[in-house]
Amino acid sequence: MDNASRRLGIAVWIGAGLVFALVGAGLLLSAFHISGQTLSENAAAEALCLQRLRTLGTAERIRERLRLVIPKVATPRTGIEDASAITAACPGWALAYFCMGTACGGDGSTVKMIVEIAPAR
């Protein structure tokens, strides 16, 4: 093999490597763009979920969960209905904690409800 054909072979390998590097960089940028869109969509869905929960009681984010506190439940039946409505109001979230009764904090004389939901896995 002479020098010219060896140089041509090296040039082909370098060119192929550059093409693969550029394709890889393009795919990486595309992945960053898609993940950024997903994060913003998740943030918007969470904000909408919190807004819906606030129509039922006091809602806040605690670590990776959303917590709803209804300080005074009129009847246990309506409390269960509200808890069921939470799962419908926040698609993609699952029930992580539920407490309803006089032992759920407070003064111990009123029925209180605490519901926590977390992203479904």
The set of residues, in sequence order, having a beta carbon less than 8 Å from that of 48 and lying 6+ positions away, is none
Across 19-35, average pLDDT: 82
What are the structural domain ranges in the chain?
3-119
Is-contact 49 93, C-beta < 8 A?
yes
Q: pLDDT for 41-50, tens place per residue?
A: 677 888 888 8
Q: Is the predicted pLDDT of residue 8 greater than 70, yes or no?
A: yes
Q: Is the predicted pLDDT of residue 23 greater than 80, yes or no?
A: yes
Cα gap 10→17, rounded to integer Å: 11
Q: Which residues pair with 62 in a beta bridge?
A: 65
Q: Which residues pair with 117 in a beta bridge?
A: 66, 95
